[in-house]
Amino acid sequence: MPDAARTPAPDAPPRADGRVVAVRGGIVDAAFPGEGPRIDDLLMAGEVPLQVMSFVDGGAARCIALAPVHGLGLGTPVRNTGGPVAVPVGEAVLGRMLDVFGTPLDGGPPPDAADHRSIHRAPPPLSDRVLRAKVLETGIKAIDLLAPIERGGKTGLFGGAGVGKTVLLSELIHNTVEHHHGVSLFCGIGERSREAEELWREMGEAGVRDRMVMLFGQMNESPGVRFLVGKSALTMAEWFRDDREQDVLLLIDNIFRYVQAGSEVSGLMGRMPSRVGYQPTLATELATLQERIASTRKGAITSIQAVYVPADDFTDPAAAHIFSHLSASVVLSRKRASEGLYPAVDPLASSSVMLTPNVVGQRHYDIARAVRRTLAEYEDLRDIIAMLGIEELSAHDRAVVARARRLERFLTQPFATVTAATGEGGKLVPLEATLAGCEAILGQTTFPRPESDYYMIGALPWTEEAA
Ligand SMILES: Nc1ncnc2c1ncn2[C@@H]1O[C@H](COP(=O)(O)OP(=O)(O)OP(=O)(O)O)[C@@H](O)[C@H]1O
């Protein structure tokens, strides 16, 4: 059924009222005397919005509550709005902080939007999609060198708890939103509300709020809200792409929380869990969202998604499924974070489909490979060093270690978003300076400068002697 037909007309005749017949946690069953609602319809049980998820034996609609269910009881009247959850779309949402329904969280009036659209939409057909193979430069050395972000593609920032995903995402927003021609959309799913408020303030201070929309369904919200807020954000992004033919930068913190909300919903619905306790529908649920994040002839949606990795286990089914949708993966490592090597990008585990000679050029490709090789050799030597000491290494291996340790430090970088904590200003490094710096270190055979000189700097401030 086309989406337009599913969007409720404001003057649609009210459908027959139903009644609540069961309430279990966030799940509500509603029975209707005559023609009942359809899947995805939005119902109102008193003040509590419900979305129809399935039908139980006997015909009652099984719904997920999109607000706390306090006050609901058996017999509470249920009204069918006649359409699915719909959000305001258009210029009116720019500069606003909204929730899953497009209701303001910023204290302002509701967005004055001419149009509302269903949040359940099909992805664009394959024939409309385009591949651009262009890189989005971020000014972050480790990312631009080893896992270049694709314009119009999807990038994941993977990491366990507290390794710096949110900090890295904020820095990427800081570095890219200002230069991005088009609009930016930030979608917060299941994270802390405090971080949301900080980001809102920072965006105001940076003066980019009027080109940005922020949507939040944070950790204090019901699983239904966290499950749907990503779709609300995409519906708004699609309007800018399709109706305005603009490029959109879509930032999601944290896509794992979407999977987790789906798993909570599934559990509440009484579905049997699958691998590692996840919902049996994990792959389809993730695909419904990820497939919509697509670039078409009209405009590109570039998305950067933070991905929480439970217990640092990268084989976790949620992490593995998310990974399969991405064109670039920036993996953050706990070991690097513990050594203070921020951003804690793991140079060997991070990757991007952009890192080929055809896209980034032969020189960049060769330097990235040489950096990886040097760091991999150092990894292999670490055990020997731990057991026998560095003195036992050959002169060649000792030079590899010296180069690798300087490269590791050169790939750290002070961030503008953690200035207050570190006492330093942020440093944006052009790709050319990153390449030149790595090339210089790779070419070194003597090492007159101590490793610490390379730590938390921007571009190399001196000319390296390649003697
Ligand atoms: N680039 C950085 N420079 C300096 N410190 C950093 C950097 N990245 C992270 N940190 C430190 O690590 C802490 C945790 O970072 P952050 O909140 O981004 O982690 P996270 O992976 O998003 O965690 P969570 O999963 O709990 O949301 C920060 O408060 C900061 O102290």
pLDDT tens-digit series, residues 391-446: 889 999 999 999 999 999 999 999 988 876 666 678 889 999 999 999 999 999 99
165 is catalytic: yes
Residue 413 phi, psi dihedral angles, 5° rounding: -165, 135
Residue 299 among known ligand-binding residues: no
Percent pLDDT > 70 in the chain is 95
Residue 164 among known ligand-binding residues: yes
141 is catalytic: no
pLDDT of residue 1: 39
Instruction: Using the mean position of ligand 1's atoms as its centre, give its distance from the Cα of residue 453 in Å.
Output: 24
- Per-residue pLDDT tens over the stretch 97-124: 999 999 999 999 999 998 999 999 999 9
Average pLDDT over residues 279-296: 92
Residue 59 among known ligand-binding residues: no
pLDDT of 48 higher than 60: yes
Ligand 1 atom with the shortest distance to the CA of 161: 25
pLDDT of residue 423: 66
Percent pLDDT > 90 in the chain is 70
Res. 205 pLDDT band, cuts 50 70 90: confident
- Per-residue pLDDT tens over the stretch 87-100: 999 999 999 999 99
Please, what is the average pLDDT of the chain? Answer: 90
329 CB contacts (<8 Å, ≥6 apart)? 147, 155, 156, 158, 323, 349, 350, 351, 352
What ipTM was reported for this prediction? 0.96
How buried is residue 249: exposed, middle or buried, by Cβ count under 10 Å (0-12/13-18/19+)? buried
**Does residue 148 have a cis bond before it (omega within 30 degrees)?**
no
Nearest alpha-carbon partner for 407 in 381, 366, 370, 382: 370
Domains of the chain: 3-84 (2.40.10.170), 88-355 (3.40.50.300), 361-454 (1.10.1140.10)
Instruction: Using the mean position of ligand 1's atoms as its centre, give its distance from the Cα of residue 417 in Å.
Output: 10
